[in-house]
Structure formats: C-alpha cells, structure tokens
C-alpha cells in the first residue's frame, strides 16, 4: 500500500531563496533583453508615480475647494477648482489604465523572451551530451528540465525578481511620504507594519510545504488512476475492481488530508492579514482623529494617509508568495545549470582529420583490440579485433549481453573505447568530426523511432543530400513505397504517436528507407527479432539485401538470410569473438556454429 | 445550469458545516461594513469632540468588529472549502468506481487522457464553481446591496453614478473572457507540445545522434518553444487588457466619487465622514464584484464539465451478471464458440466472422493468424470484456451471458499481451490474482513455479520489492513470468495467454513454455501467438484469416500437411529465426561448459 500513497521526498526538500552566484548566471540571460527589462521597470515606476500622484489629488481637492468652501458664501470658484482636480484625476486615470495594460504585457514579454532563450539553450546543450548521460537518466526527469523547471524560472522573471525589487522600493517610498505628512502618524504606522510582515513571512514556509505536499499527493493519485486505466483489462478479468478502488480511496484520503492542511493555513492567513491591517488602520485612525482635533492634521492629509496605507498592504501581503517563487526558481535554476555545466566527453577533436575515402566510396572499418566497460570492473568487450573491408558485410551473432550492441555504440561514437582503436579508413574515429563521421552512416535500429510529423519528414529528417528522387529510390529499394501510398495524404500523412500507424515489420521497412535515402557509405543494422508474417518477412529480406549491397556494413544479425549472405560472421560470447569466418567456412570448420546449424536443420526438416 | 444544481446536491450531504459556513459570509461582511461606518462617523465627530471615553468606545467597537470579521472569515473559508474538497473526494471515488466497472468497449474507444481529465480538471472546475465560487458570489451578493443601500441613504446621486463604471467593467470582463480562455488553452497546448517534443527527442536520442540531427532537432524544438513564447505573450496582452479594464473602472469610480462627492461636499451636503464611507465601501465592494465576474466566467466551463462528468456516470454497462448460480468451483473448463461474430465500435469491418471452435477441459487451444486477424478479440470475448455480436460462447455448455461475471472470470487466469504489472510490491502483484488471501508460502510456491525464485531473491527487498519506475525494473521475460504466476494464483480452470510470448526472445520463450507446460497441467489453455512454435504442442490450433474468419483447424502436424498460411509461415519462421536463436541460446551454455 505504501507504494501508492508514498510521496517522493525529494519534492519536499527546501532550498535557499537567494543565491547570488546563481542569480549572476541568470543575469547573463537577461543581458540580451536589457531594453525590455528597462521598459518593464519604467512602466512599473510610472505606475507607482501615478498611484502616488492620485493620493495627492485627493488631498488637494479636500484641503483646497472642499475645505475652502466651508465658510464661503459664493461656492462658484470652489466648484471650478474642484472640477480642475477632477479633470486632473481623470487624466491620471487614463494614463494609469494604459500603463496597466503595459504592466502585464511588457512584463510577460520580458520574462518569456528570457525563458525562451534559456529553454532553447538548455535543449541545444542536451543534444550535445553523451549517450551515457541519457542512458543513465529517466526521460521524464530530463523533460522536466525543459518544462517545469523553465516555467518556474519564467515565474521568477515575470512576477519574481522585478516585482519583488519594486515592491521593496514601493514600501520604502510610501513610508517616507507618510513621514512628510505627519511624523507621529508615520511612526505609529512604522511600528505596526512589522506585524503585517511577520504574518506574511510566518505563513510562507507552511504554505509552501503544504502546497508541495498537495501537489505530490495529487500526482500520485493521478498516476495511479492512469495506471489502473492502462491495466483495466487485468483489473476486470481478475475482478479486482474493489481492490483498486480501495487503493485509490486510500490515496484520495491522503490527498484530502494534505488539502485540509492547506485550506486551514489559507483560511488562517487571509483573516490574520486583515486583522493586522485593522490594527494598523485602527492605530492610524486613533492618531489621526487626535491630530485632526489638535489641528495638526487636515482632512485631506488624513485621506491621503489612508490611501497610502492601502498601498502598503498589497506588497507586504505578497512578500511571502514572492519569497516562495524565488525559492523554487532557484532550485530549478540550480538543476538547469547543472545540465549546462555537464560537458560531453565524446566531443569533436581539436584538430579534426578528414576521412580519406571520399563521400560515395565505402570506407574500411577496423576494430583493433577494443576494450570497453560501461561500469567499472564489468568489461563488456575484452579485446575485440575485426575488419570490415570496403563494401563488405560483417554479421555478428551471439547471446544477449555478449557485447554486440556495444560494437555499434563504439562505431558510431555513442561511447568511446577504453582501450584499442576503432578506425575508419585508418583514421581513429575519435579524430574525425562527429558530424562528418555520422553523416556517412545509415542506421537501422531494433526499435526504430518515428517522430511526430509526416512520414516524409521522418524519412528525410532535413538531411542534406536527401532529394525527392533519392527518397523515391529508397522507398522502392526498401519495398516500402506502398506503405506510404496506402495512407491518406501519402508521404505527407501524419505519423501517429510512437509510430502506431505502422506494424513492427513496416516500421523496419521505413527505417531501412530512411537509411537508404541519404545513400550512406556505411550501414549499421540491428535486426529486430519480433516475429512477422511471411509476406512482410520476404519484403524485409529483399530490403535488407538492397541496404547492404555495395556498402561497408556492421550487422547484428538475426535472420538466417542475412547471416548466410555476410562476408564474415563473428560469433560473439562474453565480450570476445568465439568463432569467425563465412557461413561455409564455419560449417566446414565443424565448430559450434556448424553444430547448431545442423541441429536446426534437422529439427526443421 | 440545472445540472450544477444537481451537482450541488452532493454538497448538501455536508449540510451542517456548509450552512454554518454560508451563514458566516453575511455576518463577516456586515462586520466589515461596520468598521467603515465607525471610522466615517468618527471622522465627522472628530472636529467637535476630543472625548477620551468616546474615542475608547469607537476603538473598542472597531476591535470587536475586526476580530469578529476575522474569526468569521476564517470559519467561512475553512468550512466551505473543506466541504468542497469532501465533495471532490466523493465525486472522484464515484467516478473511479464507475470507470473500473465500465466494459472494456468503453475504455477501448475513449482515450485515457480524456477520461483522466474528467476526474481531474472537470471535477476541479465543478468544485471551484460550487465551492469557493459560491462563497465569493454569496459574499458579493450580500455586501454589494448592503453597501449600496447604505451609500444610497447618504447620497443617492453619487451612488447611482458610482454604479456606472462598475457595470462598464462587468461588460468588458465578459467581452474579454473568451479571448482569455482561448489564449490560455493555446498556452497549455503549446506547453504540452514542448514536453512532447522533448520526450520524443530524448527517447529517440540514438537516432538523432546517429544521423547527426542534433542541430535540426534543436531548431525544431526552438520553433516549438517560440510558438509557446508567442502564445504566452498573446495571453499576457489579453491579461493586460483585463487588468487595465478592472483597474481602470476602479479608478474611474474614484473619479466619480471625487466629482459628485466633492461637489456635494463643497455644497456642504456631504460631510467628510460620508465621503470617507464612499471611498472605503467602494474599495470593499469592488473586489467582490470582480469575483462575481470571475465566477460568471467560470460558469460555462463548469456546466460543460458537469455535463461531461454526468455523461460518464450515466454510461451504461451492457455487460451484467447472468442468472445462473453456478460457482467457479462448478466449472470444468470446456469451452465452445458457435458462429461467433464481432465488430468493434470504432471498426467498419467485423473483427471476427462466424468463428466456431471448441476445446475440451484440460486441452490446449492455439490461436494463430496474421496481424489483425482477431486473435486477441477472440480471447477478450471469452472473458466478456466485449459482448459477442452474434453466435454463442458456451462454458461447460452454459452460455457465458447466463453466468455471473465472478463465476466466468473466476474460471479464467489471464496473461495479457503487454504483461501489465502494477507499480506495487512484487508479491502484491501476484496476490492480485487470488480471490482469497494467499499465505507467504503460497506466494513463494508460485514464484518458484514460474522459475522466478532466484531472480526475486536478488531483488533489493526480495519479493517485497516495488516493481516499476520507482523500484526494480523487470525484463520482458520476468514480467511475463510474473503475469503467469498472477494468473495461476487464482488456480483457474482456464488459462488465457494473449500473445504474451512474442515480445521475448526465443530462448526466454522456450523457458516460459516449459513453465507453462507444468502450470497448464489439468487446465484448459487458450493461447494466441505470432510465433508458431508457441502453439506447436497444442491439442488443437485454429488459424484465423486476416479478416477474422477461420481458415483451418487442426493439430500442428495436420496444419503442416495442408498448404496454406500456417505451413508457409512455419517454414519461414523456422528459416529466419532458428539459427540465430540457437546460437544465442546455446552459446552461453557451451562457453560455460568450456570455461
């Protein structure tokens, strides 16, 4: 039961709300948008000035025409004076309304500009990282870096840093003005406002924890729901509806409890804030009335004082919230910079060497005493040497874990060898520019991947040298022309999520077409093992033959036809080559391969 | 709207806290208005009174009102929001129970994302509107007329003039709400596509790097991110307009007060204290009005959400218990299909056409055919996950519609194609299969029977280890063996294997077949497969055609003699798979022997 309701504790870890070095790094992303930032700041400043001006108009109107008309017989001049104030106020209202639009629009634009840059930068950086980096992390966690973490930062830019800084200025300036109106009143306010700040800050930590807990519980709940929906067939056939409902109910109860805590905190927070405000207002009222009676304060001044007091409340009330925004933004920034600080070990060489064989000529591939391990002390390849002469095919067979796919990883430089050399035309692959190396390859993987987009986009992948013509040739060679034609829109039909439009066998044909489209010089083929029906099988065999024809190829082979046609077969076991030779040579040798072949042949007959 | 009233009945289950909470609203608002009046009156008397006792009186009452207001506000929110959360829990519980009972046909035709959103965002929309939404509305409904009435008695003209900008704001808000909604949907969607792109890229990173497509992918991602940025900016503009409209009309109200109130004050018809009341009550009235605008904006969504929830609750389930009181213990496991046809809701052509086949208790029936031939469909019909359209399926001579579902499904041990396991403890996954409670010993016996004993022993917490992303991740073969153990846990008369062996390599398949042979002893076994070697030993094999009809029925030997799909595919699969598979499987043993 614990597994359904348990909450990921890492979600609950608190971080610093301010980190100068992180902030400085973030500022680098602000620099290109300095103007937008300046504009945002100006808008906020003008708005503030307008707000202040408004309080003066009230004071002026009350102390001027309203007070002046008290004992006057002829009200006329006072009325027109008042109208002057009203017009000034109306002008101010128009000015403020326009600014209010820009307040939101410009701040959003500023924040989003920075965030877009940052997001693109992080993604671009991720693209360059080693496969080791990706193999060691769940995809979901990486996705979070370019989604949730970036969004947290966006909040920091739009409603965090600028506004917080601004709110501080606001509080200080308003307090200052209060002093110019009436020192005694201002002192009383200054003494009472810490109450408000105290409530806001006291609430901050609790609210944050409670919110996180609710979010985590909700994620759990929805995760379980999704899981049950995925397994609904199993639930129903086993008649376990009540069991899953029980678990869901337990998770719901925990979610409710977490919610209750949050509700309690918020129910307490708002009235507590109000009470603090009342105390401040009550104190000001009392002092104000005393001052008015003592003639040291005019009505106009009092009204201005009151209005300014209202201006103080909002920034202070939101102080806690801003603090929380900053805190989670810094946590996200830290994770993001961690990625930006990770550098690829498999990188372009300082002085790249060109591959001798020109494009269009199949190169010579060589593995020389190659040793490799993913994890310390667990060697996967223990000194493997073989050649793939230009235009020839080497097929690798062997049990799972024998190191077959590692050969592919090293040849394409997904990983670098620990010892020995992998070379192409006599040049170590580590001395070649990555792109120059990989663009010579045609790649067909076991679980080949189709991306969202049209069939054409998936086949072309924006590669130079892939033309309509070469694509058509590739589709023909891969026996895949009718697959695309069958779809509405042909090659321009959208591929369904995860390539569900096509069966496993069809996806293999498309992957072959994709590889062929760029007319590669080297082919890396990892044959899929899934059973397909005989018609598809025939097509795959023909397509494979077309693919390997005239190219240097390394094949992790499963099909007998592929194996039999190979120029050399490597029988691999436990990171070493156990037997090698052509099909006929291996049969003649009478070794393991021959024994197995005979066994199969008898069984099939 | 009436549908929301219907949903509100769920709130009435918590009558006392709800009504207490609702009662707090007007009282809290009255206390708040009381303070304004106190201050206003105090200002008026300030010029002619410096009476300490009077001052104390004012401040005491202000404290009473303030504390009262705060306490009431606390209870208002606490009581009402907690009730709304309780209702949320109730709705989710109800929906979940409904969902898990709905026939598979429903799940098959609806996207799981859509179903999840009914339980999440739809429930939330209804809760927000009927809980906090009602609270704000009621608050506004109380304070607005009261305040206006008070103001009206002070100065009718000014009050009427004040209402105008407020109405203006209401109209503007209403006009902008569509745009706001549109842009926020666009923003949500573009965030989803960012995450989708990233997901896809990181998942397919081998292809990306293998083709040196990093730059192209970064470009595509940047374009997606740019769309999001532009949507965000557009939403920011719409928000800016709203923000300007709300604040502009707020400020305009003050201009009106300044004008009309000021004129009255110049004429000495409006004392300063009253002017203060106008200002302060305007501040207090304005935000509740905005809240009403917010609730009104939510209403159409809440109605749509309520309808979608109701639609789900009203979903009918045609698959119901039969009248027969046979129990699983009474069943022997003989199964017969007579002329069974079936078409999916979403399909145009039938998935199965006139299929007739039978299997005696204890025998094994293999089901084969090309992709899409209806192999899984046939197995789903046997478990009544779907209802056969025509024809009959008989379990020991009784039509399965006449049996209680618990009897029918209690007879079946099902191993799904995708070897679905819950992210729960390993042993809980096996216990899942049993109708009663299993002892630890029984669970261990099952683990041993599917040859998982050694592997489970190596898990960090043994059989108590959590399976899945947050625990130990199992290989395809391990998952399948676990699914078999789960099916065996209910000691079924019939074991149903839905093409569960095609995703594993041949060696694992061989192992699994071995453990199945012992497991299947004395049971009827229905097994569908892509790989023909899986069904080789079956007592009878039915070959389905691509359009769901029966091509042939017979034993492996009989079908090989007969030219057709089976013989052809057998020959091809032998040719392509055997050698590499044999190399894979034998080499380690040979090497192990040599070493």
Residue B581's pLDDT is 58
* Chain B residues within an 8 Å CB radius of A432: none
Which three-class secondary structure state does DSSP give residue B208?
helix
Nearest by CB: A559 against B70, B380, B576:
B576
| pLDDT tens readout for residues A78-94 | 888 889 999 999 999 99
Judged by a CB distance cut-off of 8 A, whether residue A14 touches chain B is no
| pLDDT tens readout for residues B359-415 | 999 999 999 988 777 888 899 899 888 888 889 999 999 999 999 988 999 899 998
Rounded CA-CA distance A165/A167 in Å is 6
Whole-model pTM: value is 0.78
Edge-to-edge strand list for the sheet holding A576-581? A441-444, A522-526, A552-556, A393-398, A568-573, A576-581
- Pick from A23-37, B65-79, B115-129, B262-276: least confident: B262-276
Report the candidate in B210, B564, B224 with the shortest Cα–Cα distance to residue B370: B564
CA quadruple B336, B338, B344, B350: dihedral sign:
positive
Which three-class secondary structure state does DSSP give residue A251?
helix
Number of alpha carbons in the 13 Å side-chain half-sphere of residue A323: 19
Residue A4's pLDDT is 40
pLDDT at B458 over 60: yes
DSSP secondary structure letter of residue B466? B
DSSP secondary structure letter of residue B394? E
Q: Which residues contact A348 (CB under 8 A, 6 or more apart)?
A: A433, A434
DSSP secondary structure letter of residue A130? -
Q: Do A398 and B583 touch (CB under 8 A)?
A: yes
| Residue B475 near residue B443 (C-beta atoms within 8 A) | no
Tally DSSP H helices, then E strands, for chain B.
Answer: 21, 10
| Residue B514 near residue B522 (C-beta atoms within 8 A) | no
Largest CA distance in chain B: 119
| pLDDT tens readout for residues B76-111 | 999 999 999 999 999 999 999 998 888 887 887 776
Rounded CA-CA distance A316/A190 in Å is 13
Q: Do A97 and B236 touch (CB under 8 A)?
A: no
Nearest by CB: B573 against A107, A307, A531:
A531
Rounded CA-CA distance A491/A481 in Å is 9
Report the candidate in B466, B94, B149, B536 with the shortest Cα–Cα distance to residue B315: B94
Q: Do A123 and B46 touch (CB under 8 A)?
A: no
Q: Do B71 and A256 touch (CB under 8 A)?
A: no
Residue A11's pLDDT is 40
Rounded CA-CA distance A34/A36 in Å is 5
| Residue B433 near residue B413 (C-beta atoms within 8 A) | yes
% of residues, chain A, pLDDT over 70: 92
Nearest by CB: B262 against A66, A142, A563:
A66
Enumerate residues 442 to 461 of chain A having a beta carbon within 8 A of any beta carbon in chain B.
443, 445, 448-449, 451-452, 461
pLDDT at B584 over 70: no
Query: Helix axis angle, A76-128 relative to A161-181, nearest 10°?
Result: 150
ipTM metric: 0.84
Nearest by CB: B59 against A100, A282, A310:
A282
| Residue B529 near residue B501 (C-beta atoms within 8 A) | yes
Give the gap in angstroms from C-alpha B37 to the nearest C-alpha of chain A.
13
Q: Do B432 and A240 touch (CB under 8 A)?
A: yes
Enumerate residues 202 to 261 of chain A having a beta carbon within 8 A of any beta carbon in chain B.
221-222, 225-241, 243-245, 248-249, 252-253, 255-256, 259-260
DSSP secondary structure letter of residue B425? B
Query: Helix axis angle, A183-230 relative to B52-101, nearest 10°?
Result: 10
Q: Provide the pLDDT confidence category of residue A555 given band limits of 50, 70 and 90.
A: very high
Burial class (CB in 10 A: 0-12, 13-18, 19+), A279: middle
Judged by a CB distance cut-off of 8 A, whether residue A496 touches chain B is no
Nearest CA in chain A to B415: A234
* Cα dihedral B23→B25→B27→B31 (10° resolution): 170
For chain A, the straight-line distance linking the first and the last C-alpha, in angstroms and rounded, comes to 53
pLDDT at B572 over 90: no
Q: Where are the alpha helices (DSSP H) in A129-240?
A: 131-135, 139-146, 148-155, 161-181, 183-230, 232-237
Rounded CA-CA distance A276/A274 in Å is 5
Q: Who wins on pLDDT, A528 or A361?
A: A361
> What does the pLDDT average to over B181-193?
84
Nearest by CB: B582 against A89, A128, A599:
A599
For chain B, the straight-line distance linking the first and the last C-alpha, in angstroms and rounded, comes to 79
% of residues, chain A, pLDDT over 90: 25
Backbone angles phi, psi at B357, to 5 degrees: -165, 155
Q: Provide the pLDDT confidence category of residue B418 given band limits of 50, 70 and 90.
A: confident
- Average pLDDT of the residues of chain A: 84
pLDDT at B592 over 70: no
Q: Do B211 and A443 touch (CB under 8 A)?
A: yes
Q: Provide the pLDDT confidence category of residue A601 given band limits of 50, 70 and 90.
A: low
Judged by a CB distance cut-off of 8 A, whether residue A587 touches chain B is no
pLDDT at A391 over 80: yes
The two tokens of residue A481 are: 């022309």
Q: Provide the pLDDT confidence category of residue A497 given band limits of 50, 70 and 90.
A: low
Burial class (CB in 10 A: 0-12, 13-18, 19+), A489: exposed
Nearest CA in chain A to B48: A293
Mutation for testing the A interface, residue in B205, B531, B564 having most A CBs under 10 Å: B205
Burial class (CB in 10 A: 0-12, 13-18, 19+), A10: exposed
Residue A531's pLDDT is 63
Nearest by CB: A400 against B422, B505, B571:
B505
A457-466, B90-99, B202-211, range with greatest mean pLDDT: B90-99
* Chain A residues within an 8 Å CB radius of B210: 412, 414, 438, 441, 443, 445, 524
B415-433 burial, b if ≥16 CB within 10 A, otherwise e? bbbbbbbbbbbbbbbbbbb
Burial class (CB in 10 A: 0-12, 13-18, 19+), A290: middle
Beta bridge partner(s), residue A274 = none
Q: Provide the pLDDT confidence category of residue A604 given band limits of 50, 70 and 90.
A: very low
Q: Do B202 and A448 touch (CB under 8 A)?
A: no
* Cα dihedral B284→B285→B290→B291 (10° resolution): 80
pLDDT at B146 over 50: yes
Nearest by CB: B259 against A86, A240, A452:
A86
């Amino acid at each position: 039961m614990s597994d359904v309701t348990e909450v990921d504790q890492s979600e609950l870890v608190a971080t610093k709300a301010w980190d100068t070095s992180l902030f400085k790094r973030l500022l680098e992303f602000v620099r290109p948008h300095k103007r937008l930032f300046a504009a945002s700041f100006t808008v906020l400043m003008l708005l503030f000035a307008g707000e202040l001006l408004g309080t003066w108009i009230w004071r002026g109107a009350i102390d001027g025409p309203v007070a002046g008309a008290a004992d006057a017989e002829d009200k006329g001049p006072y009325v027109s004076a008042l109208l002057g104030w009203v017009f000034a106020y109306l002008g101010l209202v128009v000015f403020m309304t326009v600014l209010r639009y820009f307040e939101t629009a410009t701040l959003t634009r500023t924040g989003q500009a920075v965030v877009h840059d940052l997001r693109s930068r992080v993604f671009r950086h991720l693209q360059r990282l080693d496969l080791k980096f990706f193999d060691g992390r769940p995809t979901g966690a990486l996705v979070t870096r370019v989604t949730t973490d970036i969004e947290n930062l966006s909040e920091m830019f739009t409603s965090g840093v600028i506004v917080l800084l601004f709110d501080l200025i606001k509080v200080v300036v308003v307090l200052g003005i209060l002093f110019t109106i009436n020192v005694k009143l201002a002192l009383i306010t200054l003494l009472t406002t810490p109450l408000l700040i105290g409530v806001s800050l006291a609430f901050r930590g609790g609210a944050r924890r409670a919110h996180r807990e609710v979010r985590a519980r909700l994620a759990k709940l929805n995760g379980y729901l999704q899981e049950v929906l995925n397994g609904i067939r199993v639930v129903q056939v086993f008649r376990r509806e009540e069991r899953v409902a029980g678990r869901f109910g337990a998770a719901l109860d925990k979610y409710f409890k977490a919610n209750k805590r949050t509700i309690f905190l918020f129910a307490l927070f708002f009235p507590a804030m109000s009470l603090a405000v009342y105390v401040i207002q009550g104190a000001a009222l009392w002092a104000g009335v005393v001052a008015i009676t003592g003639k040291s304060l005019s009505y106009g001044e009092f009204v201005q004082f009151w209005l300014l007091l209202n201006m103080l409340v909002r920034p202070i009330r939101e102080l806690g919230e801003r603090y929380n925004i900053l805190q989670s933004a810094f946590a996200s920034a830290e994770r993001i910079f961690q990625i930006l600080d990770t550098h690829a070990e498999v990188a372009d060489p300082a002085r790249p060497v060109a591959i001798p064989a020109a494009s269009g000529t199949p190169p010579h591939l060589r593995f020389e005493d190659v040793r490799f391990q993913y994890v310390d002390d667990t060697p996967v390849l223990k000194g493997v040497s073989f050649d793939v002469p230009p235009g020839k095919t080497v097929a690798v067979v062997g049990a799972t874990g024998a190191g077959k796919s590692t050969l592919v990883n090293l040849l394409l430089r997904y990983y670098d060898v620990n010892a020995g050399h992998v070379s192409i035309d006599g040049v170590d692959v580590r001395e070649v520019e990555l792109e120059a190396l990989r663009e010579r390859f045609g790649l067909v993987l076991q679980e080949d991947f189709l991306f969202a987009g049209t069939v054409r986009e998936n086949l072309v992948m924006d590669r130079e040298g892939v033309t309509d013509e070469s694509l058509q040739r590739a589709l023909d060679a891969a026996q895949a022309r009718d697959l695309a034609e069958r779809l509405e829109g042909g090659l321009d039909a959208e591929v369904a999520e995860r390539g569900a439009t096509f069966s496993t066998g069809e996806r293999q044909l498309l992957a072959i077409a994709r590889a062929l489209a760029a007319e590669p010089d080297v082919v890396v083929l990892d044959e899929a093992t899934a059973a397909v029906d005989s018609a598809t099988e025939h097509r795959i065999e023909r397509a494979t033959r077309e693919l390997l024809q005239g190219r240097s190829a390394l094949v992790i082979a499963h099909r007998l036809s592929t194996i039999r046609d190979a120029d050399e077969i490597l029988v691999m076991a436990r990171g070493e080559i156990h037997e090698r030779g052509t099909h006929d040579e291996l049969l003649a040798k009478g070794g393991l391969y021959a024994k197995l072949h005979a066994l199969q042949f008898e069984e099939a007959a | 709207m009436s549908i929301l009233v219907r949903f509100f009945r769920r709130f009435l289950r918590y009558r006392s806290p709800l009504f207490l909470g609702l009662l707090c609203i007007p009282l809290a608002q009255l206390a708040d208005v009381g303070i304004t009046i106190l201050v206003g009156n105090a200002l008026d008397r300030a010029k002619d009174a410096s009476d300490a006792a009077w001052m104390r009186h004012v401040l005491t009452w202000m404290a009473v009102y303030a504390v009262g207001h705060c306490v009431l506000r606390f209870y208002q929110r606490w009581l009402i929001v907690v009730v709304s959360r309780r209702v949320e829990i109730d709705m989710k519980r109800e929906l979940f129970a409904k969902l898990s009972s709905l026939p598979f046909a429903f799940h098959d035709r609806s996207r799981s994302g859509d179903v999840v959103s009914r339980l999440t965002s739809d429930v939330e929309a209804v809760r927000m509107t009927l809980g906090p939404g009602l609270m704000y509305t009621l608050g506004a409904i109380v304070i607005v007329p009261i305040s206006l009435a008070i103001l009206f008695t002070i100065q009718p003209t000014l009050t009427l003039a004040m209402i105008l900008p407020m109405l203006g704001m209401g109209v503007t808000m209403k006009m902008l709400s569509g745009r706001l909604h549109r842009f926020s949907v666009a923003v949500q969607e573009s965030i989803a596509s960012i995450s989708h792109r990233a997901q896809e890229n990181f998942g397919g990173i081998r292809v990306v790097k293998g083709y040196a497509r990093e730059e192209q992918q970064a470009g595509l991602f940047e374009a997606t991110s740019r769309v999001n940025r532009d949507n965000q900016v557009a939403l920011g503009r719409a928000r800016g307009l709203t923000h300007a409209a709300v604040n502009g009309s707020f400020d305009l109200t003050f201009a009106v007060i300044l004008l009309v109130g000021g004129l009255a004050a110049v004429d000495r018809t409006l004392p300063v204290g009253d002017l203060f009341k106008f200002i302060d009550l305007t501040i207090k009235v304005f935000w509740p009005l905005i809240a009403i605008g917010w609730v009104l904006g939510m209403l159409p969504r809440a109605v749509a959400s309520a309808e979608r929830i109701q639609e789900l609750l009203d979903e009918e389930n045609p698959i119901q218990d039969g009248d027969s009181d046979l129990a699983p213990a009474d069943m022997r496991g003989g199964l017969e299909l007579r002329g069974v046809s079936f078409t999916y809701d979403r399909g145009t052509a039938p998935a199965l056409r006139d299929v007739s086949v039978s299997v005696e208790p204890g025998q094994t029936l293999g089901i084969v055919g090309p992709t899409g031939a209806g192999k899984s469909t046939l197995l789903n019909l046997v478990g009544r996950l779907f209802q056969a359209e025509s024809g009959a399926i008989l379990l020991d001579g009784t039509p399965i519609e006449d049996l209680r579902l618990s009897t029918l499904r209690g007879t079946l041990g099902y191993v799904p194609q995708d070897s679905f396991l819950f992210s729960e403890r390993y042993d809980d996954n096996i216990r899942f299969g049993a109708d009663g409670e299993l002892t630890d010993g029984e669970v261990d016996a099952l683990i041993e029977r599917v040859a998982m004993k050694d592997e489970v022993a190596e898990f960090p917490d043994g059989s108590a280890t959590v399976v899945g992303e947050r625990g130990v991740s199992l290989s395809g073969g391990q998952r399948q063996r676990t699914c078999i153990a789960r099916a065996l846990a209910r000691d079924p008369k019939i074991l149903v294997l839905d093409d569960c062996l095609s995703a594993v390599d041949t060696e694992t398949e061989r192992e699994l077949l071995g453990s199945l042979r012992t497991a299947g002893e004395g049971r009827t076994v229905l097994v569908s497969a892509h790989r023909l070697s899986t069904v080789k030993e079956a007592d009878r094999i039915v070959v389905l055609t691509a359009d769901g009809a029966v091509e042939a029925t017979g034993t492996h030997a009989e079908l090989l003699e007969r030219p057709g799909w089976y013989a052809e595919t057998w020959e091809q699969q032998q040719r392509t798979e055997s050698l590499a598979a044999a190399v894979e499987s034998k080499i380690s043993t040979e090497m192990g022997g040599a070493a």
